[in-house]
Protein backbone atom coordinates (compact mmCIF):
# COMPACT_ATOMS: atom_id res chain seq x y z
CA UNK A 1 0.00 0.00 0.00
CA UNK A 2 1.44 3.35 -1.00
CA UNK A 3 1.30 6.31 1.30
CA UNK A 4 2.60 9.78 0.49
CA UNK A 5 4.82 11.62 2.94
CA UNK A 6 4.29 15.34 2.43
CA UNK A 7 7.59 16.83 3.51
CA UNK A 8 10.53 18.51 1.86
CA UNK A 9 12.77 17.74 4.85
CA UNK A 10 15.00 14.82 3.81
CA UNK A 11 15.85 14.03 7.46
CA UNK A 12 12.16 13.46 8.18
CA UNK A 13 11.87 11.23 5.08
CA UNK A 14 14.80 9.08 6.24
CA UNK A 15 13.41 8.80 9.77
CA UNK A 16 9.89 7.91 8.59
CA UNK A 17 11.22 5.31 6.18
CA UNK A 18 13.19 3.66 8.99
CA UNK A 19 10.25 3.80 11.43
CA UNK A 20 7.78 2.41 8.87
CA UNK A 21 10.19 -0.33 7.74
CA UNK A 22 10.55 -1.46 11.37
CA UNK A 23 6.85 -1.33 12.27
CA UNK A 24 4.69 -1.41 9.10
CA UNK A 25 6.73 -3.07 6.31
CA UNK A 26 3.52 -3.49 4.25
CA UNK A 27 3.43 0.27 3.67
CA UNK A 28 5.49 1.93 0.97
CA UNK A 29 6.32 5.52 1.84
CA UNK A 30 6.69 7.66 -1.23
CA UNK A 31 7.95 11.23 -1.38
CA UNK A 32 5.99 14.29 -2.45
CA UNK A 33 7.40 16.77 -4.91
CA UNK A 34 4.23 18.69 -5.75
CA UNK A 35 3.45 22.29 -4.87
CA UNK A 36 4.36 23.30 -1.32
CA UNK A 37 1.43 25.00 0.45
CA UNK A 38 1.83 28.11 2.62
CA UNK A 39 2.26 26.88 6.19
CA UNK A 40 0.39 29.71 7.88
CA UNK A 41 -1.08 27.79 10.80
CA UNK A 42 -0.12 28.70 14.34
CA UNK A 43 -0.33 25.19 15.76
CA UNK A 44 1.43 21.96 14.84
CA UNK A 45 -1.93 20.37 13.97
CA UNK A 46 -2.97 23.20 11.65
CA UNK A 47 0.33 23.06 9.74
CA UNK A 48 0.35 19.25 9.54
CA UNK A 49 -3.17 19.32 8.08
CA UNK A 50 -2.27 22.05 5.56
CA UNK A 51 0.63 19.93 4.27
CA UNK A 52 -1.24 16.60 4.25
CA UNK A 53 -4.30 18.08 2.49
CA UNK A 54 -2.13 19.60 -0.26
CA UNK A 55 -0.41 16.28 -0.96
CA UNK A 56 -3.67 14.29 -0.84
CA UNK A 57 -5.33 16.72 -3.26
CA UNK A 58 -2.36 16.60 -5.64
CA UNK A 59 -1.74 12.82 -5.60
CA UNK A 60 -5.14 11.30 -4.75
CA UNK A 61 -3.28 8.97 -2.36
CA UNK A 62 -3.47 8.74 1.44
CA UNK A 63 -1.05 11.40 2.64
CA UNK A 64 0.84 11.97 5.86
CA UNK A 65 2.53 15.14 7.04
CA UNK A 66 4.60 15.80 10.14
CA UNK A 67 4.77 19.22 11.74
CA UNK A 68 7.23 19.20 14.57
CA UNK A 69 9.48 21.24 16.79
CA UNK A 70 10.91 21.80 20.21
CA UNK A 71 8.83 23.30 23.05
CA UNK A 72 10.87 24.86 25.86
CA UNK A 73 9.06 25.21 29.20
CA UNK A 74 11.03 28.28 30.33
CA UNK A 75 9.97 30.02 27.09
CA UNK A 76 6.28 29.19 27.50
CA UNK A 77 6.45 26.44 24.86
CA UNK A 78 8.41 28.38 22.23
CA UNK A 79 9.75 27.92 19.61
CA UNK A 80 7.08 25.21 19.08
CA UNK A 81 5.58 25.41 15.56
CA UNK A 82 8.10 28.17 14.73
CA UNK A 83 11.14 25.93 15.35
CA UNK A 84 12.27 25.77 11.71
CA UNK A 85 12.52 29.57 11.45
CA UNK A 86 13.34 30.58 15.02
CA UNK A 87 16.36 32.73 14.07
CA UNK A 88 14.89 34.19 10.88
CA UNK A 89 13.29 33.40 7.58
CA UNK A 90 16.05 31.17 6.27
CA UNK A 91 15.98 27.68 7.78
CA UNK A 92 19.38 27.74 9.48
CA UNK A 93 19.63 24.96 12.07
CA UNK A 94 22.84 26.24 13.68
CA UNK A 95 21.52 29.83 14.02
CA UNK A 96 18.27 28.47 15.47
CA UNK A 97 19.91 26.42 18.18
CA UNK A 98 22.44 29.15 19.04
CA UNK A 99 19.60 31.62 19.54
CA UNK A 100 17.77 29.12 21.73
CA UNK A 101 20.86 28.55 23.90
CA UNK A 102 21.27 32.35 24.21
CA UNK A 103 17.66 32.73 25.32
CA UNK A 104 18.27 30.10 28.02
CA UNK A 105 21.64 31.42 29.17
CA UNK A 106 20.21 32.54 32.56
CA UNK A 107 18.22 29.35 33.09
CA UNK A 108 19.87 26.51 34.99
CA UNK A 109 18.78 22.94 35.62
CA UNK A 110 16.20 21.82 36.65
CA UNK A 111 14.46 24.58 34.67
CA UNK A 112 15.84 23.70 31.21
CA UNK A 113 13.11 21.15 30.50
CA UNK A 114 11.76 20.83 26.96
CA UNK A 115 9.84 18.44 24.72
CA UNK A 116 10.25 17.45 21.13
CA UNK A 117 6.76 17.28 19.57
CA UNK A 118 5.75 15.53 16.34
CA UNK A 119 2.21 16.04 15.10
CA UNK A 120 1.20 13.83 12.19
CA UNK A 121 -1.88 14.46 10.06
CA UNK A 122 -3.24 11.78 7.77
CA UNK A 123 -5.66 12.74 5.02
CA UNK A 124 -7.39 10.06 2.98
CA UNK A 125 -10.42 11.05 0.93
CA UNK A 126 -12.86 12.72 3.33
CA UNK A 127 -11.06 11.38 6.39
CA UNK A 128 -8.68 13.59 8.38
CA UNK A 129 -6.95 12.54 11.59
CA UNK A 130 -4.22 14.08 13.73
CA UNK A 131 -1.98 12.36 16.29
CA UNK A 132 0.89 13.59 18.44
CA UNK A 133 4.09 12.17 19.89
CA UNK A 134 5.99 13.86 22.73
CA UNK A 135 9.61 13.18 23.76
CA UNK A 136 10.56 14.81 27.08
CA UNK A 137 14.05 15.99 27.98
CA UNK A 138 16.05 19.12 28.60
CA UNK A 139 18.36 21.54 26.83
CA UNK A 140 22.12 21.10 27.00
CA UNK A 141 24.22 24.23 27.64
CA UNK A 142 26.32 23.69 24.47
CA UNK A 143 25.79 21.67 21.28
CA UNK A 144 27.33 18.18 21.16
CA UNK A 145 27.34 15.44 18.53
CA UNK A 146 27.24 15.19 14.76
CA UNK A 147 24.16 13.03 14.06
CA UNK A 148 20.52 13.87 13.42
CA UNK A 149 19.36 17.36 12.41
CA UNK A 150 17.80 20.54 13.74
CA UNK A 151 17.92 20.81 17.53
CA UNK A 152 19.32 17.29 18.07
CA UNK A 153 22.75 18.60 19.24
CA UNK A 154 21.14 20.44 22.19
CA UNK A 155 18.40 18.01 23.27
CA UNK A 156 19.11 15.53 26.09
CA UNK A 157 16.23 13.03 26.34
CA UNK A 158 15.03 11.95 29.79
CA UNK A 159 15.64 8.48 31.13
CA UNK A 160 19.26 7.96 30.12
CA UNK A 161 21.96 6.28 32.14
CA UNK A 162 25.09 8.37 32.76
CA UNK A 163 26.84 9.70 30.81
CA UNK A 164 23.86 11.43 29.26
CA UNK A 165 24.11 12.24 25.57
CA UNK A 166 22.36 14.63 23.21
CA UNK A 167 20.27 13.09 20.42
CA UNK A 168 23.02 14.07 17.97
CA UNK A 169 25.25 11.63 19.90
CA UNK A 170 22.74 8.79 19.49
CA UNK A 171 22.65 6.41 16.54
CA UNK A 172 19.77 6.77 14.07
CA UNK A 173 18.45 3.39 15.29
CA UNK A 174 18.37 4.58 18.91
CA UNK A 175 16.57 7.80 17.96
CA UNK A 176 14.04 6.15 15.66
CA UNK A 177 13.06 3.61 18.33
CA UNK A 178 11.85 6.21 20.86
CA UNK A 179 11.68 9.66 19.26
CA UNK A 180 8.65 11.98 19.19
CA UNK A 181 8.24 10.94 15.53
CA UNK A 182 8.28 7.23 16.43
CA UNK A 183 5.74 7.89 19.22
CA UNK A 184 3.44 9.81 16.88
CA UNK A 185 3.71 7.05 14.28
CA UNK A 186 2.84 4.45 16.93
CA UNK A 187 -0.29 6.47 17.76
CA UNK A 188 -1.11 6.53 14.05
CA UNK A 189 -0.76 2.77 13.53
CA UNK A 190 -4.30 1.83 14.65
CA UNK A 191 -5.65 4.40 12.19
CA UNK A 192 -3.69 2.83 9.34
CA UNK A 193 -5.36 -0.58 9.52
CA UNK A 194 -8.02 0.52 7.06
CA UNK A 195 -5.25 1.16 4.53
CA UNK A 196 -3.86 -2.38 4.49
Q: Which of residues 153-182 bind ligand ITT (CB under 6 A)?
A: 179, 181
| The one among 131, 152, 166, 192 contacting ligand ITT by CB under 6 A | 152
Q: Which of residues 62-121 bind ligand ITT (CB under 6 A)?
A: 66-69, 83-84, 93, 96, 116
Q: Is 51 annotated as a binding residue?
A: no
Question: Is 10 near ligand ITT (CB under 6 A)?
Answer: no
Which residue, 94 or 194, has its beta carbon nearer to ligand ITT? 94
Burial of 182 from C-beta contacts in 10 A (0-12 / 13-18 / 19+): buried
Using CA of residue 98, residue 104, residue 108, residue 110, what is the dihedral sign? negative
For the chain, the residue count is 196
| The one among 148, 170, 182, 184 contacting ligand ITT by CB under 6 A | 148
DSSP codes joined into one string, 15-73: HHHHHHHHH-TT-EEE---SPPPP---SSHHHHHHHHHHHHHHHH-S-EEEEEEEEEEG
Beta-carbon count within 10 A of 177 CB: 13
| The one among 1, 2, 8, 127 contacting ligand ITT by CB under 6 A | 8
Question: Is 12 near ligand ITT (CB under 6 A)?
Answer: yes
Annotation says 67 is catalytic: yes
Report how far residue 98's alpha carbon sits from residue 118's, in angstroms, rounded to the nearest whole number.
Answer: 22
Q: How far is the CB of 88 from ligand ITT (least distance, A)?
A: 13
> Footprint of ligand ITT on this chain (CB under 6 A)?
7-9, 12, 51, 66-69, 83-84, 93, 96, 116, 148-152, 179, 181
The catalytic residue positions are 67
Q: Residues at the annotated binding site for Mg(2+)?
A: 67
Q: Which residues are annotated as a binding site for substrate?
A: 7-12, 68, 149-152, 175, 180-181
Amino acid sequence: RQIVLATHNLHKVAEFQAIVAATRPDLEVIGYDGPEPVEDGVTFAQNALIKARAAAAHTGLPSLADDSGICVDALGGAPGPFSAYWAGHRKDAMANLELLLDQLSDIADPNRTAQFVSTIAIVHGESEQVVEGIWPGRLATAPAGEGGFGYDPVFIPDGQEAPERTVAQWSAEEKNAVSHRARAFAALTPLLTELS
